[in-house]
């Protein structure tokens, strides 16, 4: 009950139903502090909530972040109700504070928020079979479909230039030029690999700028564990963790899913012979994502899906290599040269995609 005592003043500042009888740390997230509350209602039944302290070191503008969350979840909720669905299980539901805000600012300057706990559902950390990957694609595609007509430009950028590959390229070039810890010489091949693909980094940014593809609401963290899976049906129920929702391209979400979900090896695999892009998983995810989007993607977006996969992988590799050249200041490392190993893995995946480009293009053409 220690957490109840520590959290009681926080709990009392939200419009919860019933009285809190239990509060304990929940989940395995690395960014926010998360607790599960169990409240007893007047009729003796129990209702659970998620309570989170937002990490303001990562998310510098929590109020803007919550404005994004409220806008997106309110929009999705209306669509779910219109379709006869269950809005308490199929989207996140924010519990207001007693002063009517979507968050509570405590006396220490910490920002807190709460959601209704989604019952009878589970999230999984790893893709165990192609069906899991297909279901995750359906869920993220459906998320995109529900928000296809949302005014994406009204959203705040919670992390500025997060998937701006042109900006990432400029930062990379500066890190190479500065070579502040003297490691550029040990990564000559990797640096050349990125420089040879500098023009590629402009493709999606230019397409957005020139309105060849629409600006959309993007999730930007499309991992399997950000989908609640219904315990009864085994199907994706609700997309969660909306902290990085912001304006961007659907190609970002799709591409990042392929990057980590269709790779045959771990992100830091040192044996590069084990690293490739599994074409069966690529096909499975592409099918699910396009089906989930329900016709909301344009033909040009569909034809650019392979480029989305390649660019998100290249971007990730660039970020690892930039961090390596700057002395491992951003990503946590567990061995010497860890970020260089990570970069090499991403670049091997990019090279493999390039070799399989015709195959990837033929797969997406089936859906045009």
Q: What is the pLDDT of residues 83-120, one digit of tens each?
A: 999 999 999 999 999 999 999 999 999 999 999 999 99
Rounded Cα distance, 21 and 132, in Å: 35
86 Cβ neighbours under 8 A, 6+ residues apart: 80
Rounded Cα distance, 38 and 20, in Å: 6
Q: What is the mean pLDDT of residues 167-190?
A: 98
* Residue finishing a domain among 77, 99, 119: 119
Residue 368 has pLDDT above 80, yes or no: yes
Residue 125 lies in a domain: no
Rounded Cα distance, 194 and 64, in Å: 34
Rounded Cα distance, 243 and 221, in Å: 9
Roughly what angle, to the nearest 10 degrees, separates helices 305-325 and 188-195? 140
pLDDT digits (tens, 9 = 90+) for 248-284: 999 999 999 999 999 999 999 999 999 999 999 999 9
79/6 same-domain check: yes
223/339 same-domain check: yes
325 Cβ neighbours under 8 A, 6+ residues apart: 175, 176, 178, 179, 180, 181, 183, 184, 187
Identify the pLDDT of residue 214: 98
Rounded Cα distance, 262 and 238, in Å: 22
Residue 124 lies in a domain: no
pLDDT digits (tens, 9 = 90+) for 331-344: 989 999 999 999 99
Contact 293, 325 (CB under 8 A): no
Domain extent for 55? 2-119
137/53 same-domain check: no
Contact 259, 266 (CB under 8 A): no
Between the two ends of the chain, the Cα-to-Cα distance in Å is: 57
Q: Grade residue 3 by pLDDT with cuts at 50, 70 and 90.
A: very low
Contact 255, 313 (CB under 8 A): yes
**CATH code of 10's domain:** 3.30.200.20
pTM of the shown model: 0.92
196/96 same-domain check: no
Rounded Cα distance, 92 and 70, in Å: 9
CA within 13 Å, CB half, 316: 26
289/245 same-domain check: yes
Residue 191 lies in a domain: yes
Lowest-pLDDT choice from 121-130, 218-227, 322-331? 121-130
Burial of 145 (0-12, 13-18, 19+ CB in 10 A): middle
Residue 49 lies in a domain: yes
Residue 57 has pLDDT above 90, yes or no: no
181/266 same-domain check: yes
Contact 229, 121 (CB under 8 A): yes
DSSP 199: G
Roughly what angle, to the nearest 10 degrees, separates helices 188-195 and 165-178? 150
Residue 27 lies in a domain: yes
**CATH code of 224's domain:** 3.90.1200.10
* Residue finishing a domain among 119, 140, 161: 119
Residue 53 lies in a domain: yes
Overall domain count for the chain: 2
Identify the pLDDT of residue 2: 43
Nearest Cα neighbor of 340 from 201, 222, 181 is: 181
Residue 95 lies in a domain: yes
* Residue finishing a domain among 62, 91, 119: 119
108/163 same-domain check: no
Q: Grade residue 129 by pLDDT with cuts at 50, 70 and 90.
A: confident
Roughly what angle, to the nearest 10 degrees, separates helices 338-355 and 357-365? 60
80/165 same-domain check: no
Identify the pLDDT of residue 279: 97
183 Cβ neighbours under 8 A, 6+ residues apart: 324, 325, 340
135 — alpha (psi -120 to 50), left (phi > 0) or beta?
A: alpha
Residue 5 has pLDDT above 50, yes or no: no
pLDDT digits (tens, 9 = 90+) for 23-48: 999 987 778 999 999 999 999 999 99
Residue percentage of the chain with pLDDT more than 70? 98
Instruction: Report CA Rg, the chain.
Output: 22
Identify the pLDDT of residue 6: 67
Q: What is the mean pLDDT of residues 346-360?
A: 98
Identify the pLDDT of residue 210: 98
8/57 same-domain check: yes
Identify the pLDDT of residue 237: 95
197/334 same-domain check: yes
80/135 same-domain check: no
Nearest Cα neighbor of 196 from 347, 325, 313 is: 347
Tokens of 279: 């074409």
Roughly what angle, to the nearest 10 degrees, separates helices 279-293 and 305-325? 120
Residue 64 lies in a domain: yes
58/167 same-domain check: no
Q: Grade residue 365 by pLDDT with cuts at 50, 70 and 90.
A: very high
């Amino acid at each position: 009950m220690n957490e109840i005592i520590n959290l009681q003043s926080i709990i009392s500042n939200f419009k919860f139903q019933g009285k809190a009888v239990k509060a304990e740390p929940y989940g395995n997230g690395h960014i926010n502090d998360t607790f599960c509350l169990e409240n007893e209602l007047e009729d003796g039944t129990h209702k659970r909530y998620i309570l989170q302290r937002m990490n303001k070191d990562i998310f510098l503008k929590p109020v803007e972040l919550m404005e994004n969350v409220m806008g997106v979840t309110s929009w999705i909720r209306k669509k779910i109700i219109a379709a006869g669905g269950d809005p308490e299980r199929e989207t996140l539901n924010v519990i207001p504070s007693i002063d009517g805000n979507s968050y509570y600012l405590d006396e220490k300057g910490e920002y807190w928020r709460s959601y209704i706990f989604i019952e009878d559902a589970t999230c999984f950390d790893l893709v165990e079979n192609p069906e899991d990957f297909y279901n995750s694609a359906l869920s993220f595609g459906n998320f995109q479909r529900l928000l296809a007509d949302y005014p994406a430009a009204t959203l705040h950028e919670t992390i500025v230039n997060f998937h701006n590959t042109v900006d990432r390229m400029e930062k990379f070039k500066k890190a190479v030029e500065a070579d502040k810890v003297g490691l550029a010489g040990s990564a000559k091949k990797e640096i050349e690999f990125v420089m040879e693909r500098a023009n590629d980094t402009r493709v999606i940014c230019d397409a957005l700028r020139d309105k060849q593809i629409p600006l959309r609401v993007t999730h930007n963290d499309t991992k399997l564990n950000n989908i609640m899976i219904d315990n009864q049906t085994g199907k994706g129920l609700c997309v969660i963790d909306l902290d990085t929702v912001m304006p961007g391209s659907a190609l970002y979400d799709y591409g990042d899913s392929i990057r980590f979900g269709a790779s045959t090896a771990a992100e830091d695999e040192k044996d590069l012979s084990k690293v490739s892009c599994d074409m069966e998983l690529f096909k499975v995810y592409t099918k699910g994502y396009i089906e989930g989007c329900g016709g909301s993607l344009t033909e040009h977006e569909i034809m650019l899906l392979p480029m989305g996969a390649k660019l998100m992988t290249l971007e990730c590799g660039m970020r690892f290599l930039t961090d390596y050249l700057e002395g491992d200041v951003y990503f946590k490392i567990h061995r010497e040269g860890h970020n260089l190993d990570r970069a090499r893995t991403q670049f091997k995946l990019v090279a493999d995609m390039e070799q399989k480009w015709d195959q990837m293009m033929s797969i997406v053409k089936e859906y045009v």
